[in-house]
Structure 1
């Protein structure tokens, strides 16, 4: 492979062909850029991670207490999970990922943050559909502890609450299914979610049918391809303390 481009791995998945690539762009300096593609669609790039990291930072800032048990929905390139582990209060982090290939990239340390996640004893990968586990509170996210409740659930899978990685995910974004997920949060627990778009008023209204408080944050970051700023958003929702 060229020093400027390498396809590290490509495998079939239930969603289509998924690939991990490394490339360099001379104009952006001496750095490796890692990218994940599903078919011809870019899922994630290590060039743009500010909002993924903000998801953990903002979500966990809203959580009170110590010895936190946290779920991250969607592994990606690992930036949300690593940012979460920077919070010393975390006792255990479950990273739920539907594609075993993506977990394998981290376990085999084919991606830069795999080594960091593997070395942290608080981190555990869970192979499964976040959306299936989220809506089954009697079994829940942790196969080793059915029905376990968490201090925070941080979600970074779909492009936005109205643009889905998989059309089947659309059914999650209802009051009924969000409430099933919220059953897996402790009283006062936090649900936070990343979106590539600016906050959507209809989704904020939907979240308020389940959570006591809902706050949306706009995350700005420099995009060299546009020679200017791009924006993502993070929704932070807090469950009522008495529930």
Structure 2
């Protein structure tokens, strides 16, 4: 079974952050910073797009629990978080209700039976995967969702000005012979093709700069798909 190609790099990155910063700061930086507000934006996006009390959610690439912490303040759900770094999972577990479950998962698939979840979310996950990996993961999200279940994920696209800046910064790293973080762009046309091939219906796209919570945008574009 295929595994993530950057596990070792990310483990080292998290270890350096934990060495150089207080734990709360390190765990925020590990998921890109702005732990509280981004978590609240992500939770709001999920609620606005159908996540409700009593549902079972898979949070794929849950990191240090930014989304989980925000969701726990708002909803009573059955929660499973998946990530590739144990230190992030341990921190997330320490910040969330006892009934929230966290799993180490380094396969590009979910270790869950068919039709397990009402909802799957993946924030800042497909932005760091090859297109082939994203397709495999989306296909498996479809498998583990119940009929009518939803997948909400964030992505980078070239026509959004802030995203172009990310691409330019990655180019500069390459030109400097550095080893840049993989920032993968996924255009809406490709998402539509993936959805059709897998059996999803695209419900809506949300622009990266669209206000989601109290005038705040996520900063990445989002897509909501329905099985």
1:215 partnered with 2:209:
no
Deviations 1:65-104 (A, max 9, x none): 65211010112232111223234241x1001111112223
Gaps of 5+ in 1: 1-12, 25-31, 108-113, 134-139, 223-228
Q: Aligned runs of 1:170-189 on 2, under 5 Å?
A: 170-174=131-135, 178-189=138-149
How many pairs were matched up? 183
RMSD: 3.6
**TM-score, normalised by the number of residues in structure 2:** 0.64
Deviation at 1:214, TM superposition (A): 3.0
> In structure 1, how many angstroms separate the alpha carbons of the residues matched to 2:103 and 2:218?
32
Larger strand share, 1 or 2: 1
d(CA) in 2 for partners of 1:151, 1:72: 12
- Look up the match of 2:171: none
Bigger CA radius of gyration: 1
Provide closer, same or farther for how the CA distance between residues 130 and 234 of structure 1 changes in structure 2, counting only shifts above 3 A: farther
Give the Å deviation of 1:127.
Answer: 1.1
Q: Cα offset for 1:170?
A: 3.6
Match of 1:203 among 176, 180, 190: 190
The 8 Å contact of residues 205 and 221 in structure 2, kept in 1 or not, is answered as: yes
Please tell me whether residue 96 in structure 1 is matched to residue 82 in structure 2: yes
- Give 1:234 shift: 1.7
Give the match for residue 231 of structure 1.
Answer: 219
Q: Which residue of 2 aligns with 1:9?
A: none
CA distance in 1, matches of 2:107, 2:47: 19
Return closer, same or farther for 1:129/1:230 CA change in 2, 3 Å cut-off: closer
Q: Could you say which structure has the higher helix fraction?
A: 2
The farther-off stretch of 49-58 and 78-87 is 49-58
What does 1:134-149 correspond to in 2, within 5 Å? 140-141=111-112, 146-147=113-114, 149=116
Aligned CA distance change for structure 1 residues 101 and 65 (closer, same or farther; 3 Å) = closer
TM-score in terms of structure 1 length = 0.60
